[in-house]
Structure 1
Amino acid sequence: MKRQSNYTVEISCNIKKIWDIVVNCADTNWRSDLIKTEILSETSFKEYFKNGGETIFTITEKTPYTRYHFNMEN
């Protein structure tokens, strides 16, 4: 079964600072639910959760400061 979710968030902060934090897959210290993140390729990465789950992300569109789209599989 395929499910789709769309989220839009507005944050009152410097856009470059937020963008740099959110798209930095190597540093996820701001995510308290993760054990680690593994970079699989230039466009995919895997998150490992404290509860034992895993999610693979495949980035489909990345327009700096504008759009960050990805597919998730877990």
Structure 2
Amino acid sequence: MAATANRDPRSTLRGGLPDRYLTPEDLTTLLSVPLETVYAWRKKRTGPPGFRIGKHLRYDPAAVHAWISSLSEHEAA
């Protein structure tokens, strides 16, 4: 059986992130932080930039990756 046959339809393409818009719950899973932390980052404008689709909060995986990279660069400086 080919390895691609078992792939999740939400397969990862960018730095281990899914190739779809992320939910706050996705961020908690990916970053191992509580949901309250994700919402606190948004309120303080210190986390990855998010956007609303109607009442739903979403994050662009590329923006999340860039935010994580900026944290890594900031720590190295």
Q: Name the one with the larger strand percent.
A: 1
Larger relative contact order, structure 1 or 2 (CA cutoff 8 Å, min sep 6) = 2
Q: TM-score range by the shorter chain?
A: under 0.3
Q: With structure 2 as the length reference, what TM-score do the two structures score?
A: 0.25
Q: Name the one with the larger helix percent.
A: 2
Q: With structure 1 as the length reference, what TM-score do the two structures score?
A: 0.25
